[in-house]
């Protein structure tokens, strides 16, 4: 499939990108066989358009452009607020849902890592039923799929696409940005990639940038207020630091896992925010065990775990299970295992599902509540934030 010629069709996406230049610059006229003339407006140094002459009786279209600045893409200017969008990290999809944009989602990187059940608890909050998956066979991402989707904006870090073996080159990403829609995002779920030499963002710093893209800063502020209240409420009731357990975070799929990929809980990636909010320390600190990243794929077994003997174990790869299903399968296997059964975390009932790889602001609130009640059941129970307030914030009713 060859690249679509962007002059063959002018959609709403083109107006988002080119704005009034489509009309004023004669691009639309060119589609009907007319040659384009000079732009009838001129822009002064302040960025404000001025009419060519009051005698002509013409008026300059209002300048609706605005710019969002986010590394690594830098300054990205929009002529109109984008409607449709695609993401790779599904945490960015969750950010858009939190702004009331869930139905405009076209694609996610890995559909299996986009968990949406918690939206059912929020009145009037929804997301597109079956977004397309960008990740294809053999861990590849087809550049032509971006053209087919025709998203107004891609909430994807362009460097993520060219540094992870997806089969894309910088020229592919540049072409999509020019012909389809810009990229505005930063890889924030982890901070272990050697190629990520530019600024990182916290969850709410990135969320604010997405709010700027969709011009929904008021909803961002309202959701942030719910977040701030929830974190403050939890923080006020936490036990002292000496009385909080540490945790070993690792990935181990299957109902009878024997080997695991360790993560570092001390990493500042956004998928670990709830553990930082709860003051859960990294059990691997000082152990010499590295964490899972693009460049490190070392595994550990139960003997290695026993040498560390963490207070708790957070096991990723099981988010599709309920807590009860997880205990009836994985935890039951560990309790019966000759070595695993010697672990303090197993003996004291502190083996939990580890949470999602990607998460946004809504998912974080549910995960904060989930792990607060798991780790400190004597201090936390029930709902730790108002579903009604969060729903109203997302709908823009506050």
Domains of the chain, by residue range, sit at 67-215, 239-395
| Residue 21: C-alpha distances to residues 27, 28, 33, 65, 171 (Å) | 7, 9, 17, 11, 25
Mean pLDDT of 60-75: 91
Domains 67-215 and 239-395 share a fold: yes
CA gap 261, 218 in Å, rounded: 40
- The beta-carbon contacts of 165-172 under 8 Å, at least 24 apart in sequence, are 165/139, 166/135, 166/139, 166/140, 166/141, 167/140, 167/141, 168/141, 168/143, 172/143
Task: Quote the pLDDT of residue 342.
Answer: 98
Q: What is the mean pLDDT of residues 80-88?
A: 98
**Strand locations in 79-219, DSSP E?**
85-87, 105-108, 132-133, 153-155
Asked if pLDDT for residue 180 goes beyond 70, the answer is yes
| CATH class of the domain defined by 239-395 | alpha beta
pTM summary value: 0.83
Distance CA 204, CA 210 (A): 10
Mean pLDDT of 24-43: 32
CATH 3.40.50.1980 at 67-215, yes or no = yes
In which element (H, E) is residue 69 found? strand 66-70
Question: What is the pLDDT, as a whole number, of residue 59?
Answer: 58
């Amino acid at each position: 499939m060859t690249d679509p010629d962007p002059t063959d069709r002018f959609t709403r996406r083109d107006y988002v990108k080119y704005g009034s230049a489509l009309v004023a610059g004669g691009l639309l006229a060119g589609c009907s066989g007319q040659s384009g003339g000079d732009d009838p407006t001129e822009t002064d140094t302040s960025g404000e358009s001025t009419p060519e002459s009051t005698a002509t009786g013409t008026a300059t279209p209002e300048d609706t452009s605005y710019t969002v600045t986010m590394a690594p893409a830098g300054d990205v200017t929009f002529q109109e607020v984008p409607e449709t969008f695609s993401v790779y990290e599904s945490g960015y999809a969750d950010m858009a849902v939190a702004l009331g944009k869930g139905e405009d989602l076209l694609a996610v990187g890995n559909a299996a890592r986009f968990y949406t059940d918690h939206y059912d608890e929020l009145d009037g909050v929804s997301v597109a039923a079956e977004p397309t998956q960008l990740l294809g066979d053999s861990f590849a991402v087809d550049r032509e799929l971006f053209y087919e989707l025709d998203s107004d904006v891609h909430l994807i870090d362009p460097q993520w696409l060219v540094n992870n073996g997806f089969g894309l080159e910088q020229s592919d990403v540049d072409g999509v940005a020019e012909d389809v829609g810009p990229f505005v995002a930063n890889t924030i779920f982890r901070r272990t990639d050697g190629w990520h030499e530019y600024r990182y963002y916290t969850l709410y710093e990135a969320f604010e940038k997405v709010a700027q893209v969709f011009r929904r800063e008021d909803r961002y502020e309202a959701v942030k207020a719910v977040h701030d209240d929830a974190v403050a409420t939890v923080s006020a009731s936490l036990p002292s630091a000496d009385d909080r357990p540490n945790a070993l975070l690792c990935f181990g799929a299957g109902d009878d896992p024997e080997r695991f990929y360790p993560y570092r809980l001390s990493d500042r990636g956004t998928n670990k925010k709830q553990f930082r909010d709860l003051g859960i320390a990294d059990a691997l600190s000082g152990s010499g065990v590295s964490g899972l990243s693009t460049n490190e794929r070392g595994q550990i077994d139960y003997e290695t775990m026993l040498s560390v003997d963490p207070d708790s174990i957070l096991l990723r790869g099981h988010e599709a299970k309920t807590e009860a299903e997880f205990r009836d399968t994985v935890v039951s296997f560990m309790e019966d295992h000759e070595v695993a059964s010697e672990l303090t975390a197993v003996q004291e009932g502190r083996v939990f599902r580890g949470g999602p790889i990607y998460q946004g602001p809504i998912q974080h609130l549910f995960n904060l509540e989930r792990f607060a009640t798991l780790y400190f059941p004597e201090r936390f129970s029930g709902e730790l934030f108002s579903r009604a307030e969060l729903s109203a914030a997302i709908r823009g009713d506050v």
